[in-house]
């Protein structure tokens, strides 16, 4: 099953249940046999795929970042019960190769609006290079550190964040500080 089929299946069953509301969506399927990640994203949640640098010194770079999908600034695509809601077929689809040692970070806009890509890489590298904890413990530590960093930035009225930079550009005025929002983070260490 591919990522779009999973999204279509979930949306169909949610609609049948009569559940009211709307949501952005970011989902991925990792196929370790074929070495690929298939994704479907709707809205301003997303993911980054970090790969090891060529120096193989334990540091990472962002090999792929999902783009945000908005109708206009601050109005993301969303699946929902409303007639005007976006559809699963509106999802942005991607298939990217994955390798052992890659780090996959999925998050809501509360993460990506408040933590820069460079800071995400720094946090991941810092945690992966210290100690000998099992991968599951390191993944949990990365999740906690990313969510904590996003929360701290979201409540700091002076911080320079991806959101403040985008808002400054969108509204042609200087905007500073983070964006208070839901913060969800899921991390996978691929082996």
Question: Higher model confidence: residue 165 or residue 189?
Answer: 189
How confident is the model over 68-86, as a mean pLDDT?
A: 92
Total-model pTM: 0.92
How confident is the model over 33-55, as a mean pLDDT?
A: 94
Q: Could you give the 3-state DSSP secondary structure of residue 115?
A: coil
Dump pLDDT digits (tens) for 81-117. 898 999 999 999 999 999 999 999 999 999 999 999 9
Dump pLDDT digits (tens) for 121-180. 999 999 999 888 999 999 999 999 999 999 999 999 998 999 888 888 888 888 888 899
- pLDDT value of position 14: 86
Residue 56 has pLDDT above 80, yes or no: no
How confident is the model over 69-79, as a mean pLDDT?
A: 93
- pLDDT value of position 79: 94
Instruction: Walk me through the domains of the chain, giving residue ranges and CATH numbers.
Output: 3-189 (3.60.40.10)
- pLDDT value of position 58: 78
Q: Which helix (H) or strand (E) holds 97?
A: strand 92-97
Dump pLDDT digits (tens) for 2-39. 999 999 999 999 889 988 999 999 999 999 899 999 99
Q: What is the 3-state secondary structure (H, E, C) of 5-73?
A: HHHHHHHHHHHHHCCCCEECEEEEEEECCCCEEEEEEECCCEEEEEEECCCCCCCEEEEEECCCCEEEC
- pLDDT value of position 100: 92
- pLDDT value of position 50: 98
């Amino acid at each position: 099953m591919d990522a779009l089929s999973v999204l279509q299946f979930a949306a169909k069953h949610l609609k049948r249940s009569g559940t009211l509301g709307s949501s952005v969506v970011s989902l991925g399927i990792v196929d370790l046999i074929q070495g690929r990640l298939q994704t479907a994203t709707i809205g301003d949640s997303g993911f980054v795929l970090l790969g090891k640098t060529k120096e193989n010194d334990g540091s990472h770079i962002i090999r792929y970042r999902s783009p945000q999908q908005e109708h206009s600034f601050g109005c993301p695509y969303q699946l929902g019960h409303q007639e005007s809601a976006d559809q699963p077929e509106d999802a942005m689809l991607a298939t990217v190769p994955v390798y052992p040692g890659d780090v996959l970070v999925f998050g809501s806009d509360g993460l990506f609006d408040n933590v820069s890509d460079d800071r995400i890489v720094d946090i991941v590298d810092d945690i992966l290079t210290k100690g000998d904890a099992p991968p599951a413990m390191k993944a949990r530590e990365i999740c906690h550190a990313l969510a904590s960093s996003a929360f701290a930035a979201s409540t700091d009225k002076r911080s320079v964040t991806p959101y403040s930079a985008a808002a400054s550009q969108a509204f042609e005025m200087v905007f500073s500080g983070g964006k208070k929002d839901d913060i969800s983070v899921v991390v996978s260490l691929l082996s």
